[in-house]
């Protein structure tokens, strides 16, 4: 049975607005209410169609009146910020993410009309470290628990949502752990990073990247809102790419830097508003993260239309190559040759400096 009244938070952003517009086209849904602290752009307002926009702050208890007055039965929580710059700093970002979610859940708990709650979460809850498994399933936890930033907020938010589900067992709760979004229209930290003509990366690392096309993200959100699935599900495209491969395919030039220099560069770019990638996101660019999508296909009932490679290729149509692909390939080949020569020289020197084996008549002694 389709929902009657749906409330979507964060409709001023592309994905939240696109979801509200998609739901508004479904005549089986009586009302679609979009909530945000700032009004959508004129273009987004035209796309929203019959969506009713309400300028409200989910951090304010007044959101409860909106839900109760409209007899909302389905709430889709999209208003979660992943970048401090987009929220006015780390403090306001945490307040929006954590305090805002708490106020929204409190309003849903009091409203007897609410029967479904959909959370746009992130695979960032798994963290990123050298101890990570090859693939994360929904039952796994982070090997290195995120200590701050968006990943920590996502963990806290999911914890509050699980507590809400225990208090209101009559509400179907869905937590969608999305991998990194990419596509021609969506704007994210990763797309901003990949648009840089010279892409800084950590020297000695080449992360595995799993992408999700914006159209697949929208389809999953729509199905989660109108369907009957309840639980946690990883959402990502099939296959992976190395970060170096993604950079080359976009006609960018990779600039490997030592980790301390990369950290200083990250602080500098955040300060001047070039690219807002935090230390936790830099760890992701070092180690990467891949999730298992068996539950998505078998239980949730959706198979992404785009693989990771296809999603990147579609995004590439909007990116003007700063460096021709043949030049990128040539530079990369020369760099790899230089690294190979350095490695061979180091190996030769190491062999010459290696101490001679002890005489068979002597027993080797090592420090404990």
- Taking only the tens place, the pLDDT of each residue in 178-194 is 999 999 999 888 888 89
- pLDDT score, position 1: 78
The more confidently predicted of residues 331 and 219 is 219
Q: How are strands ordered across the β-sheet holding 5-9?
A: 52-55, 31-36, 5-9, 74-77, 116-122, 172-178, 231-235
Section 99-114 average pLDDT: 96
- pLDDT score, position 44: 92
* Tokens 């990116």 belong to residue: 319
267-321 pLDDT, tens digit per residue, is: 666 665 556 566 777 888 889 999 999 999 999 999 999 999 999 999 999 988 7
pLDDT above 60: residue 265 = yes
- pLDDT score, position 93: 86
- pLDDT score, position 342: 57
Q: With pLDDT > 90 as the criterion, what percentage of the chain qualifies? A: 65
List, as own/partner pairs, every contact residues 10-13 make where C-beta atoms lie below 8 angstroms and the sequence separation is at least 24, other chains included. Answer: 10/35, 10/36, 10/77, 10/78, 10/79, 10/80, 11/35, 11/36, 11/40, 11/44, 11/48, 11/51, 11/53, 11/78, 12/36, 12/37, 12/38, 12/39, 12/40, 12/41, 12/44, 13/78, 13/79
Distance CA 107, CA 365 (A): 70
The more confidently predicted of residues 4 and 143 is 4
The predicted model scores a pTM of 0.85
pLDDT above 90: residue 216 = yes
Distance CA 94, CA 84 (A): 9
Distance CA 242, CA 222 (A): 30
- pLDDT score, position 367: 37
Max Cα–Cα distance, the chain, nearest Å: 91
- pLDDT score, position 120: 97
- Listed range (42-46, 73-77, 307-311) with the worst mean pLDDT: 42-46
- pLDDT score, position 233: 98
Sort strands 172-178 and 116-122 into parallel, antiparallel or unpaired.
parallel
76-94 pLDDT, tens digit per residue, is: 999 998 876 666 677 888 8
Closest by CA position to 135, among listed 216, 231, 238: 238
- pLDDT score, position 337: 57
Distance CA 359, CA 178 (A): 60
pLDDT-derived band at 148 (thresholds 50, 70, 90) equals confident
- pLDDT score, position 366: 37
Q: With pLDDT > 70 as the criterion, what percentage of the chain qualifies? A: 82
* Tokens 């955040």 belong to residue: 270
pLDDT above 70: residue 336 = no
| Sign of the dihedral through C-alpha 39, 43, 44, 45 | positive
Task: Pick from 126-130, 228-232, 268-272, 278-282 the range whose average pLDDT is largest.
Answer: 228-232
Distance CA 334, CA 344 (A): 15
Which residues are registered as beta bridge partners of 232? 175
- Listed range (245-254, 289-298, 344-353) with the worst mean pLDDT: 344-353
- The mean predicted confidence, pLDDT, of the chain is 86
């Amino acid at each position: 049975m389709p929902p009657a009244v749906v409330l979507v938070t964060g409709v001023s952003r592309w994905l939240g607005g696109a979801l509200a517009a998609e739901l508004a086209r479904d005549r089986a849904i009586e009302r679609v209410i979009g909530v945000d602290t700032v009004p959508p752009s004129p273009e987004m307002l035209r796309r929203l169609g019959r969506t009713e926009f309400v300028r409200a702050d989910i951090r304010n208890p007044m959101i409860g009146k909106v839900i109760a007055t409209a007899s909302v039965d389905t709430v889709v929580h999209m208003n979660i910020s992943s970048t401090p710059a987009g929220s006015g700093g780390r403090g306001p970002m945490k307040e929006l993410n954590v305090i805002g979610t708490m106020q929204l859940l409190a309003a849903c708990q009091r409203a007897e009309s609410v029967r479904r709650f959909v959370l746009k979460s992130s695979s960032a809850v798994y963290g990123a470290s050298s101890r990570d498994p090859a693939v994360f399933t929904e039952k796994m936890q982070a090997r290195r628990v995120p200590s701050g930033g968006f990943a920590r907020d996502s963990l806290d938010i999911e914890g509050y949502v699980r507590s809400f589900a225990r208090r209101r067992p009559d509400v179907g709760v869905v937590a969608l752990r999305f991998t990194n979004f990419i596509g021609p229209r969506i704007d994210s930290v990763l797309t901003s990073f990949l648009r840089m003509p010279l892409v800084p990366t950590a020297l000695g690392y080449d992360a595995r990247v799993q992408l999700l096309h914006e159209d697949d993200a929208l389809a999953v959100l729509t199905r989660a809102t109108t369907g009957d699935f309840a639980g946690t599900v990883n959402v990502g495209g099939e296959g992976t790419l190395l970060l170096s491969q993604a950079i080359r395919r976009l006609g960018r030039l990779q600039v490997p830097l030592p980790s301390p220099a990369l950290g200083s560069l990250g602080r500098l770019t955040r300060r001047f508003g070039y690219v807002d990638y935090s230390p936790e996101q830099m760890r992701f660019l070092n180690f990467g993260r891949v999730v298992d999508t068996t539950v998505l296909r078998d239980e949730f009932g959706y198979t992404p239309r785009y693989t990771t490679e296809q999603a990147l290729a579609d995004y590439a149509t909007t990116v003007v190559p700063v460096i021709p692909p043949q030049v990128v390939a040539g530079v990369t080949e020369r760099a790899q040759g230089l690294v190979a020569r350095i490695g061979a020289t180091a190996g030769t020197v190491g062999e010459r400096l290696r101490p001679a084996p002890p005489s068979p008549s002597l027993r080797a002694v090592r420090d404990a």
